Structure 1
Amino acid sequence: MRNRVVITGLGVAAPNAVGIPSFLDAIKAGRSGITFLPELAELKFSCQIGGIPPVTDSIKQQYFTELQLRQLTSSGVIYGVIAGLEAWQNAGLPVASDKPDWTSGIVFGTGLLGIDKLRESIYKVDAGQVRRLGSTVVVQTMASGVSAYLGGIIGTGNQLTANSSACATGTEALLLAYERIANGHAKRMLAGSCSDHGPYIWGGFDAMRVMPYQFNDSPERASRPLSATASGFVPGSGAGALVVESLETALARNAPIYAEILGGHLNSGGQRGGGSMTAPNAVAVKRCIQKAMEDAAIKPDDIDVIDGHLTATIKDAAEVTAWCDALGRKGADFPYINSLKSMVGHCLSAAGSIECVAAVLELNEGFIYPSINCEDLHSDILSLIASHKIPQQLIKKKINIIAKANFGFGDVNACVILKKFQS
């Protein structure tokens, strides 16, 4: 028999807020974190806006020593450690003392990590200055750098790893942690993901012309999922983290319980059947959603809210179509659906974890956050679902079940089913 698995801690560094209290206020208010970035204009980017978490020096000093801050230049490591440690503290968990905590582990994913540090290293190596690289280059550039950094601080002795599945990374990390606990291989896991910001991360997407250029003078209006005037995703960055724990250990230590994970599914479309490196296989997306419901032992009618991937590209309508087909629900019968990317942009490998944190807050606090910038809903979407199912203002409402999904570059899919905790 599988263990019941719950979420007992949350942490976040998002473009519109850092820390759970501020993030909760921001998503309820529909506050955008997208700003104009002069550096991108100077480098002649078409899209000169983006989402960067407002991490102040005082916030950094809560999590790092002065020596660590002098050594760290990777924004992804900084975001990941802040979110991860906030989640661990939020769960009321101690750090290990003189021996590893064999029952706790970490799965913390990323895409590209420490690219600014890597660029600096390349220049120094090419100049014959290898000895001036410093001692932190490896931890700031390897994919498992954040999980290793957090593992050393917390003292976890169970599985410590990193995953990388493009935009699906964060949701995949949550499901990998869930499976480890459900199968009895760990008592608790810190799950999350992070993404660096800046021109070396975002330049490739600008070259692909998948980011908007029409809103450089009005950045808060730029990220427009579900809108008829959506013209590409706005790049973002940050980190999200969740402490995932067996219900038994959570109850034993009287931990706060934000939500229960009922199950989920991971798959790939194999870049077949219309799927490609940049486009999802519709059959695989539908299958991922349906297999997630099957694993969670729920029916389509049980889903109250869909926290979508919805990137503000031409694929938004295709995603809504996939949800309609998978659930067999349309029009006014369709669940509510929203997109956090309207406020924070597309945080790439951090997207899933930040959005999972938002979904858990919706369940725990009883609200549906608004999808901003979609006052002109796309006609193809309106032909499928009723307009009031896309909230443009905060809705205060008790929610029982949320389906959270992300569909990533490379035709990879992840869907997790989250439930309001009931003993």
Structure 2
Amino acid sequence: MSSTNRTVVVTGIGATTPLGGDAASTWEGLIAGKSGVGPLEQEWAAEQAVRIAAQIAVEPSEVIPRPQGRRLDRSAQFALIAAKEAWADAGFTAKAGEDASVDPDRLGAVIASGIGGVTTLLDQYDVLKEKGVRRVSPHTVPMLMPNGPSANVGLAVGARAGVHTPVSACASGAEAIGYAIEMIRTGRADVVVAGGTEAAIHPLPIAAFGNMMAMSKNNDDPQGASRPYDVDRDGFVLGEGAGVLVLESAEHAAKRGARVYAEAVGQGISADGHDIVQPEPEGRGISHALHNLLDNSDLDPAEIVHVNAHATSTPAGDIAELKALRKVFGDHADHIAVSATKSMTGHLLGGAGGVESVATVLALYNRVAPPTINVQNIDPEAEANADVVRGEARKLRAEGRIAALNDSFGFGGHNVVLAFRTV
């Protein structure tokens, strides 16, 4: 089937995050304004300048059998847990082929990671140095591959239409979902399992990010450390986990009577062309991505009532994003409820776009925007450019069709904006 106009819908969601071991508990935590950040109790953390992180709420060992877990990097474990939840939530009872409602040749998987199997790589290097060549795990290579999570998800669901792994730093998870939308829209697949995962809470990444001055050093107040838009914000808090959607052509979903959460309208992608780590301060690249989305979809800007912002809690990045929203939407930006859920989950790097897409879809489905917590003293530039949801969750427009955006940006100047709409 070849087409460029196929409607794409979301039929399944799954997540494992610092707020909960599944999508439901994660959403409950987001709406309640719960923080998933805490102190790092590992011995190696004592010498770090940053001693806080948003660690997973439910360890994979509680879900995945030990023999299987030993062959999977932590990032792949997260992805598999979230993907299996989303797959079951979409109404599939077995892998493609065994479940007759989906053809494996029409099923894809796109799971991204910004870093890949970094913990496997570093841990096995320690084994090599300390115990010798023969003690290095024979599973090391498939575990450390950035495409390991996607490959394992593809094997679990029986995907044969294509298994892909976009890598664009913290925009990776969103880019994966955008790629999946295009796979369906252009006729390559009828169903795609898509999202992002990351597991980088390890001494080296934390030391490196800390020395970049990118992370909050508010060790005395872990739950208050991630504070997007606050005048005292001092960097992001590292998180871990995965978020996955099942995307499907509307025709395929209707044929099998699937429950539909939302329409996946499309994506807008751009690059800043400015700096390897610093955002373009006026948000020009982000504005370009927003215009790209609007120009290449039937989305009416008046439908947009909510944005799940990238908002990592860095001084420059938070404001650049809001400037772009104001530049593109003008006065309508006053009527868009902006939520920064990283204030609760921390920053999941390549997994952020997946988890935040789950949150964006659920915000539309339930017509409520999660709060941004820890904003004690809002930055005047943030207040001037956007309507930030603070303190408590906020009900969205109760009647009519509404839409929401999920923004994700990454080192290298990668910008991805996803749009979802009620059905």
With normalisation by structure 2, the TM-score equals 0.91
- Assess if the C-alpha contact under 8 Å between 2:407 and 2:416 holds in 1: yes
Alignment of 1:20-31 (within 5 A): 20-31=23-34
Give the corresponding residue for 1:324. Answer: 326
Matches within 5 A, 1:360-371: 360-371=361-372
Structure 2 counterpart of 1:252: 255
Cα displacement string for residues 264-290 of structure 1 (whole angstroms, at most 9, x for unaligned residues): 21111222xxx4433236221111011
- Residue equivalent to 2:407: 405
- Report deviation, 1:71: 3.9
Cα distance in 1, alignment partners of residues 306 and 43 from structure 2: 36
Could you tell me whether the CA contact under 8 Å between 2:344 and 2:373 is conserved in 1? Answer: yes
1:261 maps to a residue whose letter is A
What's 1:165 paired with?
Answer: 168
Select between 395-404 and 2-11 the one with higher mean Cα deviation: 395-404
Give 2:215's aligned residue.
Answer: 211
Cα distance change on mapping 1:105 and 1:36 into 2, 3 Å? same
2:87 is the counterpart of 1:88:
yes
Deviates more, 1:304-313 or 1:393-402: 393-402
Tell me how large the CA RMSD over aligned residues is: 2.1
Q: Tell me, yes or no, if the aligned pair for 1:290 and 1:327 is still in contact at 8 Å.
A: no
Aligned residue for 1:404, secondary structure, equals strand
Cα 1:380/1:257, change in 2 over 3 Å: same
Alignment of 1:91-170 (within 5 A): 91-93=90-92, 94-97=94-97, 101-126=104-129, 129-170=132-173
State the one-letter code of the partner of 1:328: G
Please state how far the C-alpha of 1:29 moved relative to its aligned partner.
0.3
How far 1:172 moved relative to its partner? 0.6
Q: Distance in 2 between matches of 1:127 and 1:52?
A: 27
Q: Does 1:372 align with 2:373?
A: yes
The Cα of 1:56 is off from its aligned counterpart by 3.7
2:339–2:389 contact (8 Å) kept in structure 1: yes
Structure 1 unmatched ranges of 5 or more:
none
Q: State the 1:128 CA deviation.
A: 8.2
Aligned to 1:4: 7
The CA deviation at 1:368 is 0.8
Residue by residue, what CA displacement relative to the aligned partner does 1:179-202 show, whole Å, maximum 9, x if unpaired? 010011100101011111222332
Question: What residue identity is the alignment partner of 2:325?
Answer: W
Q: Which moved more, 1:92-101 or 1:277-286?
A: 92-101
Q: C-alpha separation between the residues in 2 aligned to 1:162 and 1:141?
A: 13
CA distance in 2, matches of 1:373, 1:127: 43
Tell me the secondary structure at the aligned position of residue 306 of structure 1. Answer: strand
Mapped to 1, the partners of 2:44 and 2:65 lie a distance apart of 34
Q: For residues 4 and 359 of structure 1, what CA distance do their matches in structure 2 show?
A: 18
Aligned partner of residue 296 in structure 2, secondary structure: helix
Aligned residues: 410
SS in 2 for 1:184: coil
Which residue number in structure 2 is paired with residue 33 of structure 1? 36
Letter of the structure 2 residue corresponding to residue 250 of structure 1? A
Structure 1 length-normalised TM: 0.91
Read off the aligned partner of 1:203 and give its amino acid letter. A
Give the SS at the match of 1:296. Answer: coil
Task: Note if contact 1:363-1:398 (Cα within 8 Å) is conserved in structure 2.
Answer: no
Residue 47 in structure 1 maps to residue 50 in structure 2: yes
- Cα distance between partner residues in 2 of 1:343 and 1:127: 38
Percent identity of paired positions between Structure 1 and Structure 2: 29
**How many angstroms apart in 1 are the aligned matches of 2:59 and 2:51?**
22
Residue equivalent to 2:315: 314
SS at match of 2:407: strand
3-state SS in 2 of match to 1:377: coil
Q: Which amino acid in the other structure matches residue 224 of structure 2?
A: R
Instruction: Provide the rounded CA distance (Å) in 1 between the counterparts of 2:19 and 2:130.
Output: 40
Contact 1:51 1:345 in 2 (8 A): yes
Q: Tell me the CA shift for residue 127 of structure 1.
A: 6.6
**How far does residue 120 in structure 1 lie from its aligned partner after superposition?**
3.3
Tell me how far 1:123 sits from its aligned partner: 3.9
In terms of mean alpha carbon deviation, does 50-59 or 404-413 score higher? 50-59
Measure, in 1, the Cα distance between the counterparts of 2:77 and 2:204. Answer: 17
Matches within 5 A, 1:48-67: 48-56=51-59, 59-60=62-63, 64-67=64-67
Per the TM alignment, residue 116 of structure 1 is displaced from its structure 2 partner at its CA by: 2.6
- SS at structure 1 position matched to 2:258: coil
Rounded Cα–Cα distance in structure 2 between residues aligned with 1:24 and 1:398? 19
Deviation of the 1:65 alpha carbon: 2.8
Q: How much does 1:380 deviate? A: 1.6
Q: 1:15 aligns with which of 15, 18, 22?
A: 18
Whole-Å separation in 2 of the counterparts to 1:4 and 1:396: 27
1:191 corresponding residue in structure 2: 194
Q: Distance in 2 between matches of 1:76 and 1:403?
A: 26
2:245·2:358 contact (CA, 8 Å) conserved in 1?
Answer: yes
How far is 1:89 from its partner?
A: 1.1
Letter in 2 for 1:405: D
1:304 shift after superposition = 0.5
CA displacement at 1:111 relative to structure 2: 1.8
Match of 1:263 among 247, 266, 277: 266
Contact 1:260 1:420 in 2 (8 A): yes
